[in-house]
Amino acid sequence: MIESLRWITLALALFVGGYFIADGARALIKGDYFTPNSGRFAGEVGPWSHAVKAVGIEPRSTLMKVIFVTYGSVWLVVMIAFAIGAGWAWWGMLACAVGSLWYLPFGTLLGIVQVGLLIAYRQKTGG
């Protein structure tokens, strides 16, 4: 059970961190994030854009694209530390999961799941 919690948490971290890197890198290289090609939301970024606009960052700015790549990279470093059992890594994973809650709806949902898994893992391991 403990190992299952750990592996699921690591897989989600890899997915979220990897997606942030891929989306941000694509935006830096090609000029825009992954967006729908057709339909009602064609060419639009997600609801997360409202959250970053509220703090004064333009969603399609170079700054935001760099934030995506940096945040994803931090996620992966913390994930590796958690995988190898670094003592501080649980807190790092928790910080990254909480830090992704702004990324509506994708990061919000997965962040909540990760926080729950991390808490359950901590309780099971007695840490």
pLDDT in tens, 27-42: 999 999 988 788 777 7
pLDDT (0 to 100) of residue 35: 86
Residues of the chain with pLDDT under 50: none
pLDDT (0 to 100) of residue 29: 97
How far is it, in rounded angstroms, from Cα 2 to Cα 59?
A: 38
Average pLDDT of the chain? 93
- Whether 24 and 75 have beta carbons less than 8 Å apart is answered as no
Rounded to two decimals, what is the model's pTM? 0.89
Q: Is the peptide bond before 36 cis (omega within 30 degrees of 0)?
A: no
